[in-house]
């Protein structure tokens, strides 16, 4: 219902039913110098309110008299504990003064729906409000406790602190690691950000270069023993590391069972950057432009610019970071130039696409830069009607496959594991994943220069059929749009 009422500019209110809730609201409004009229049928309560210099009058909120008394008020709050009385009050006011803004108290979802049907603009349920407040207080207290625990572990570092990103790190992992490094510096602890694999995606390379984030490749570090504190950030696995992990921060549950000294896992948030933003706030850091930009981009990249699995926590974190971020840098990161190799892979993937329903699988042939497969999978996800993409190609006698999904019903990481987990290596989660499969696994043919093209032809249908089966897709595909 459109009322034309702008609440922020309102100064005249009426409260019908002044129990404990109504009295608390009346006190707060009066403290803000608002003009508040209180209606209640209890004469002794009305006298008590008048003794406190509040404008209170005696009337039954269920009757037309009460509606007439508040006819000149822009906002009416109906807050009696008797929900049936509140329903009648809403009806009377709507019959008498159709355009007033009404806030009404319910006792449960059913009565809330009934009040809304009767014309209440906003319905509140005190039990739900209290529960929500308690949960917010719990979250705040938990964050304060976690921050203190994290600080204790970091300050116990004798030599250096290693922050390990996910293999071939994405923006969320890099940004989260940079934020933890800033927290460590705030506590006087020297930290390195280290990664396994490569930083091959052009956006990720631009992201690191433009923001001046220094990363060290794990294989290039001669002596790993210099790190006496190890953290995994957005990287819930220890398989690649022969080290004891002290800290784990991620928005996905780990694939394996291990017990770090400190763990903060929040599947209810869509990015680890969101979690790290909360820690930045809790530690009251002087937020640098680089870290703010990195975290904001990490959130945007992980949520597909707030179009995928976005939670209120992600939006709140982004709103906090927005004023501190460099938006020119964000634009540069989001629009990096495309290499000729990537363009060739994308063109090949478009030409060879096989679409079944909303799922697209494509063979990009032999590739020099396997990271181009990831970019091709991301670009193809923008095709109309497509919710899941997988692009594969061959390099170094191995089939590399990159997959992306925006289908909330599908966990693409699990799909790839079902399809290729027993014959190759897979990694990823619900929205993006990858697989590596030996080229000859489907045919048993020894690899040589003379058999490479034959192998690729033989494996193409096997790779696609296995993946479509794992997706639960049946029927013939099409390479049309």
CB 236 within 8 A of CB 250: yes
> Which pairing describes strands 191-195 and 160-164: parallel, antiparallel, or unpaired?
parallel
pLDDT in tens, 301-347: 888 788 777 888 999 999 999 999 999 888 888 766 667 888 888 99
**pLDDT score, position 449:** 57
| The predicted structure's pLDDT at residue 318 | 94
What pLDDT shows up at residue 139? 82
State how far the Cα of 252 lies from the Cα of 264, in Å rounded to an integer: 10
Question: From CA 367, how far away is CA 97, in angstroms rounded?
Answer: 71
CATH code: domain 10-124 is: 3.40.50.720
Same fold yes or no, 10-124 and 137-333: no
Torsion of CA 54, 59, 63, 64, to 10 degrees: -70
Domain extent listing, the chain? 10-124, 137-333, 340-471
pLDDT at residue number 447: 53
Residue 320's nearest CA partner among 350, 356, 277 is: 277
Is the domain covering 340-471 a CATH 3.20.20.150 domain? Answer: no
Provide block-wise average pLDDT over 10 residues at a time, the chain (481 residues).
42 87 89 91 92 93 92 92 94 86 92 93 87 81 92 93 89 94 95 85 79 89 88 76 85 78 90 96 93 94 82 92 92 73 88 92 87 86 90 87 87 90 84 84 57 70 89 60 43
Sign of CA dihedral 248, 274, 311, 137: positive
**Contact present, 205 and 195 (Cβ < 8 Å):** no
Residue 229: what are its φ and ψ, rounded to 5°?
-135, 130
Q: Give residue 8's pLDDT.
A: 45
Q: In what order do the strands lie in the sheet with 425-428?
A: 354-356, 359-366, 388-395, 398-405, 432-438, 425-428
Query: Could you tell me if 322 and 296 are in contact, meaning their C-beta atoms sit under 8 angstroms apart?
Result: yes
The predicted-structure confidence for 104-133, as pLDDT tens digits, reads as follows 999 998 999 999 999 999 999 888 888 878
Query: Coil, helix or strand for 401?
Result: strand
Position 450 scores a pLDDT of: 60
CATH number of the domain located at residue range(s) 137-333 in this protein: 3.90.1640.10
- Nearest of 274, 197, 200, 202 to residue 233 by alpha carbon: 274
């Amino acid at each position: 219902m459109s009322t034309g009422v702008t609440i922020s500019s309102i100064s005249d209110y009426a409260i019908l039913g002044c129990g404990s809730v109504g009295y608390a609201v009346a006190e707060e409004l009066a403290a803000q110098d608002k003009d508040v009229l209180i209606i209640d049928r209890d004469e002794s309560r009305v006298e008590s309110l008048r003794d406190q210099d509040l404008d209170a009058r005696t009337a039954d909120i269920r009757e037309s008299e009460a509606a007439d008394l508040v006819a000149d008020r822009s906002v009416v709050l109906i807050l009696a504990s008797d929900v049936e009385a509140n329903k009648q009050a809403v009806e009377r006011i709507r019959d008498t003064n159709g355009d007033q803004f009404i806030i009404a108290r319910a006792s449960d979802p059913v009565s809330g729906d009934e009040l809304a049907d009767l014309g209440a603009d906003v319905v509140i349920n005190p039990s739900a409000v209290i529960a929500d407040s308690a949960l917010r207080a719990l979250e705040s207290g938990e964050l304060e406790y976690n921050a203190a625990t994290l600080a204790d572990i970091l300050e116990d570092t004798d030599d250096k602190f290693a922050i390990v990103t996910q293999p071939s790190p994405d923006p969320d992992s890099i940004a989260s690691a940079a934020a933890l490094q800033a927290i460590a510096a705030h506590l006087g602890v020297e930290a390195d950000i280290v990664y396994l694999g490569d930083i091959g995606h052009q956006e990720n390379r631009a992201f690191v270069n433009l923001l001046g984030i220094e990363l060290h490749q794990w294989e290039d570090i001669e002596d790993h023993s210099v790190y006496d504190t190890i953290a995994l950030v957005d990287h819930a696995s220890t398989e690649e590391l022969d080290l004891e992990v002290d800290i784990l921060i991620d928005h996905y549950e780990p694939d394996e069972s291990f017990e770090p000294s400190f763990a903060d896992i929040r599947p209810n948030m869509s990015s680890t950057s969101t979690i790290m933003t909360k820690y930045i706030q809790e530690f009251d850091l002087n937020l640098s432009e680089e870290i703010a930009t990195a975290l904001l981009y990490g959130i945007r990249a992980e949520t597909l610019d707030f179009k995928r699995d976005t939670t209120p926590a992600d939006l709140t974190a982004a709103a906090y970071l927005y004023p501190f971020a460099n938006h020119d840098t964000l634009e540069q990161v989001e629009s990096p130039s495309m290499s000729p190799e990537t363009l060739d892979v994308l063109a090949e993937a478009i030409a060879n696409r096989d679409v079944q329903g909303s799922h697209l699988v494509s063979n990009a042939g032999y590739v020099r830069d396997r990271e181009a497969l990831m970019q091709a999978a991301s670009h193809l996800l923008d095709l109309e009607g497509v919710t899941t993409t997988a692009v594969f190609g061959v390099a170094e006698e191995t089939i590399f496959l990159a997959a992306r999904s925006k289908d909330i019903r599908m966990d693409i990481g699990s799909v790839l594991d079902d399809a290729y987990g027993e014959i190759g290596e897979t990694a990823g989660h619900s929205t993006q994943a990858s697989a590596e499969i030996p080229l000859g696994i489907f045919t048993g043919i020894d690899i040589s220069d003379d058999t490479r093209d034959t192998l690729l032809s033989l494996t193409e249908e096997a790779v696609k059929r296995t993946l479509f089966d794992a997706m639960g897709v049946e029927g013939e595909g099409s390479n049309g749009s």
